[in-house]
Amino acid sequence: MIQLSYLDYIAVERKSFLHRLSPKLKIIGMILVLFVIVTVKNLPGLFLLYVILLTLFFTARIPAKIFSLTLYPLIFTILFIFLSGFQIFFILLIFLKVLCGSTGVVLLLASTPYPSIFSALGRVLPSSFVMALFLTYRSIFILLTVLEDTQHALYLRGGVQWKHPWRSLINIANAFGHLIIKGIDASEKMYESMVLRGFRDKIHYRRE
Amino acid sequence: MSHIHFPDGVLPVWLWASGFIVAIVIGAVLFRLTKKETLPKRLPLLGMMAAIMVLGASFEIVPIAYHVNLTVISGILLGPSLIFLATFVVNVILALFGHGGITVIGLNTLALSIEGILGYFLFRLFWRVLKRLTPATFLATFIALLFSTFAMIGVVSMGTSHYEELIHQEGKGIFEFHLSKEKGGHHPGEAAEEKVNLRRFMAIVLPLGFIGWILEGVITSLICRYIFRLRPDLLHLEKETL
């Protein structure tokens, strides 16, 4: 989540063929990737899709640093190893489905600025839902700044130490409590500034 | 624990599609019930609480790979109708970062909102009965998480036949493909062993879940106490007793 701002920076800053492509086309592409993931149940088909996505990833000048993000969801597939009774075919199938999905999403987010994604979504989804999505995404950036300060304060109070579990739990809870209160204060200020800028019940996204 | 970390293409289409339909119907009903004037005013708060839930989900407690959901505390602060929309948004963002598949968003919203809505009502109930903040929050969180974990197990068990089909479909599909295993060379005992083992799944999920319910119950109670000390108005409680 910390890499979110870097992802957004790449989406705005880089100028590859994928960055220049219309957001609408990229969202349709992502839906196609999802369709393949859901319908294709054989390894070569999924492997082919993964190779295509990897080629797009490296030709779109997306930094290799971001690549680790596509591997993160593999953590959650460990349960499937137990669920399947260690069936190698099933495990490989799941791993490829996960990798295709995550690489597709990272490609979309690293090549499209988020206001453009929300603008495209706003044309097909209910405006309240897209607004909630946009404000949540925006709030993550605000909270990440608060979190940085909170982390310093947390370290000064002993941080998280497994030798002192109760104190650590209190520190974690206080950090989240602080984050919630700061967040609520920021949301009240955000609403006031939105009203001052003419917000009534809809956000108008800037188009490219 | 109640968040279904299933990737896309694992659950049967009928299951995730019906999850989406039910979630959209409930969302539409709750949206109708919410006053039109209050929704735009509360959207920034909803966004902020959803962002806190997303951040909570991204911090893993290392030895047991558990992350806090913070759905109950968000439910207490947002109320039952807004928490549903908030969990929907949270699941969309988490799915974008590979925390569960995009097709599982509907089912995840239902499982997580059980936690938020039940947590809200249980917290009110226990507060009225016990008049003590910490036990009321702990019990509300523990019970809400227990229910939502069983809802998640129920969802997983509904797709059992589909996982078995996936496990045993080597060689089917667009391309003929064989791994080293020979076709038809299974012994009867081996076939039974290859079936999806839900008992094994539950044996892993429930003990870990139990630790998680206690951990999240304690953290939520401490957060609630912290908020009560600084901004008691946010909790909308009648009497100020700790």
Determine contact, residues A89/B166, Cβ cutoff 8 Å. Answer: no
* CA B73 – CA A61 distance, rounded (Å): 41
Q: What range defines the domain where residue A102 resides? A: 4-112
User: Among partner residues B45, B49, B173, which is closest to A40 by beta-carbon distance?
Assistant: B173
Exposed, middle or buried: residue A136 (CB in 10 Å: 0-12, 13-18, 19+)?
A: buried
Taking the alpha carbons of A186, A192, A193, A199 in that order, is the dihedral positive or negative?
positive
User: Distances from the Cα of B87 to the Cαs of A2, A122, B170, in angstroms?
Assistant: 21, 19, 37
Per residue in B62-79, pLDDT tens?
A: 555 567 889 999 999 998
CB contact under 8 A, B47 and A187: yes
Has residue A73 been placed in a domain? yes
> For all residues of chain A together, what is the average pLDDT?
85
Nearest CA in chain A to B193: A85
- A25, A103: one domain: yes
Nearest CA in chain A to B69: A176
Residues 63-82 of A with CB under 8 A from B: 69-70, 72-73, 75-77, 79-80, 82
Has residue A117 been placed in a domain? no
- A17, A92: one domain: yes
CB contact under 8 A, B85 and A129: yes
Q: Which residues of B touch A103 (CB under 8 A)?
A: none
- A146, A97: one domain: no
CATH class of B13-170+191-235: mainly alpha
Give the end of a domain, one of A58, A89, A112: A112
- A100, A164: one domain: no
How many structural domains compose chain A? 2
Rounded to the nearest 10 degrees, the angle between the axes of helix A165-196 and helix B198-230 is: 70
- Which pLDDT score, from 0 to 100, does residue A32 have? 93
Among residues B5, B25, B14, which one has the least CA distance to residue B158?
Answer: B14
Give the end of a domain, one of A81, A112, A143: A112
Residue A125 contacts B where some CB pair is shorter than 8 Å: no
- Which pLDDT score, from 0 to 100, does residue B182 have? 40
Could you identify the residue written with the tokens 């069983």? B150
CB contact under 8 A, B88 and A135: no
Has residue A147 been placed in a domain? yes
- Which pLDDT score, from 0 to 100, does residue A149 have? 84
Per residue in B164-218, pLDDT tens?
A: 676 666 544 433 333 334 444 444 444 444 455 677 778 877 888 888 889 899 9
Has residue A17 been placed in a domain? yes
- A174, A75: one domain: no
- A83, A140: one domain: no
Determine contact, residues B114/A154, Cβ cutoff 8 Å. Answer: no
- Which pLDDT score, from 0 to 100, does residue A89 have? 81
Residues of chain A with pLDDT below 70 are 1-2, 79-80, 82-86, 205-208
Has residue A119 been placed in a domain? no
The residue type found at A117 is I
Print the SS3 string covering chain B.
Answer: CCCCCCCCCCCCHHHHHHHHHHHHHHHHHHHHHCCCCHHHHHHHHHHHHHHHHHHHHCCEEHHHCEECCCHHHHHHHHCHHHHHHHHHHHHHHHHHCCCCCCCCHHHHHHHHHHHHHHHHHHHHHHHHHHCCHHHHHHHHHHHHHHHHHHHHHHHHHHCHHHHHHHHCCCCCCCCCCCCCCCCCCCCHHHHHHHCCCHHHHHHHHHHHHHHHHHHHHHHHHHHHHHHHHHCHHHHCCCCCCC
Nearest CA in chain A to B228: A177
- A138, A175: one domain: yes
- A10, A108: one domain: yes
User: Among partner residues A83, A105, A180, which is closest to B201 by beta-carbon distance?
Assistant: A83
Has residue A58 been placed in a domain? yes
Among residues A188, A190, A161, A159, which one has the least CA distance to residue A174?
Answer: A159
- Which pLDDT score, from 0 to 100, does residue B177 have? 35
Nearest CA in chain A to B57: A1
% of chain B surpassing 90 pLDDT: 37
ipTM exceeding cut-off 0.90 for this assembly: no
User: Among partner residues A44, A180, A200, which is closest to B175 by beta-carbon distance?
Assistant: A44
> For all residues of chain B together, what is the average pLDDT?
80
* This prediction's pTM: 0.83
* CA A67 – CA A53 distance, rounded (Å): 12
Give the end of a domain, one of A90, A112, A134: A112
* CA B126 – CA A119 distance, rounded (Å): 43
- A36, A93: one domain: yes
Q: What is the 8-class DSSP label of residue A204?
A: P
Query: Could you give the 3-state DSSP secondary structure of residue A63?
Result: coil
- A45, A143: one domain: no
- A49, A84: one domain: yes
Per residue in A120-171, pLDDT tens?
A: 887 888 888 888 888 998 899 889 888 888 888 888 877 777 778 888 888 8
Residue A133 contacts B where some CB pair is shorter than 8 Å: yes
* CA B114 – CA B80 distance, rounded (Å): 10
Highest mean pLDDT pick, B35-39, B146-150, B151-155: B146-150
Per residue in B68-121, pLDDT tens?
A: 889 999 999 998 889 999 999 999 888 887 777 888 899 999 989 999 999 999
CB contact under 8 A, B97 and A1: yes
Query: Hey, where are the domains in chain B?
Result: 13-170+191-235
- Which pLDDT score, from 0 to 100, does residue A85 have? 65
- A23, A97: one domain: yes
